[in-house]
Amino acid sequence: MVNPSEVLDNKAFNFIRIAPRPAKPRDHGMTIVADRGAGMNAQVDLMQSAGDFVDMMKIGIGAFRLQTEEFLRNKIDHLHESGVQVFFAGDITEAAFLQGQSDKFYRKVKELGSDAVEVSSAQVSMSIDDKCRLIRMASDAGLKVVAEAGQKGHDNWTHSLSYINKQIEAYFEAGAWKTLIQGEGVSEGVEDRKEDLMLNIAAAFDVKDLIFQAKDGGTQAFYINTLGNIVNLDVDYDQVIDLELMRRNIRKHGLFGLVASSGE
């Protein structure tokens, strides 16, 4: 087993103690990064500067429909070399569902080397039964499944906690590996974060099995402060370092969050 502090022993200023974190590979306390069509140079830069702190890359917004298979394979291979898992986000999953191409889509995702795929209904109306069928189909293709709860563009989906929990329970029963809680309507596009809703969802499940979208520092700090470092967060490309510092009590919490520190 890798010592949790080992990943920092080869970093600069290693005589300064900061809060430890479990080493990769991690199943919780994960940082999931949204790739919105970044090129290889951007990915190489991110892996060089922060690859030790990225657990999964979410290839998102359907950008992969505009890229070649060779390019995608190269990206995925490079991420795996950096110890980062990969999953394809749900935009094209939803298009495949509408066009009756879901099985072919999942088989292609697996062929490209992806570890997982997102099953969502953020933009396409889909019943719980439909989503569970897709979860089983993707699992049968050899993929881990990240199911998504929530919808884009409005916050109506947040009005019934019992229905949200019913969805999530069904997704796990169908074989989902994790469930991602959509940020829109909760912390994005609203005047105030719906913190009680998120805490109630977290209380109903093992928080290690959930992923929360958190696209701003205040929301990231809220989840870490209330749910602890075991929380899995979905963030943007340029937020990895800030989030890792936050997880290690350097930012937001402040240095006084460090345990057993002493001055000279």
Question: Does any domain span residue 263?
Answer: no
Torsion 140-142-144-145 (CA) sign = negative
pLDDT of residue 210 exceeding 60, the answer is yes
pLDDT of residue 264 exceeding 60, the answer is no
Question: What is the percentage of the chain residues whose pLDDT exceeds 90?
Answer: 64
Question: Does any domain span residue 9?
Answer: no
Beta-strand ranges (E) seen in 72-216 are 85-88, 116-119, 144-149, 178-181, 210-213
Say how many domains are in the chain. 1
pLDDT band at 102 (very low <50, low <70, confident <90, very high): very high
pLDDT of residue 263 exceeding 70, the answer is no
Question: Does any domain span residue 106?
Answer: yes
Residue 47's domain is classified under what CATH number?
3.20.20.70
Burial of 212 (0-12, 13-18, 19+ CB in 10 A): buried
Domain holding 59, by residue range, is: 27-257
Question: Does any domain span residue 187?
Answer: yes
Question: Does any domain span residue 200?
Answer: yes
Question: Does any domain span residue 201?
Answer: yes
Question: Does any domain span residue 229?
Answer: yes
What is the model's pTM?
0.90
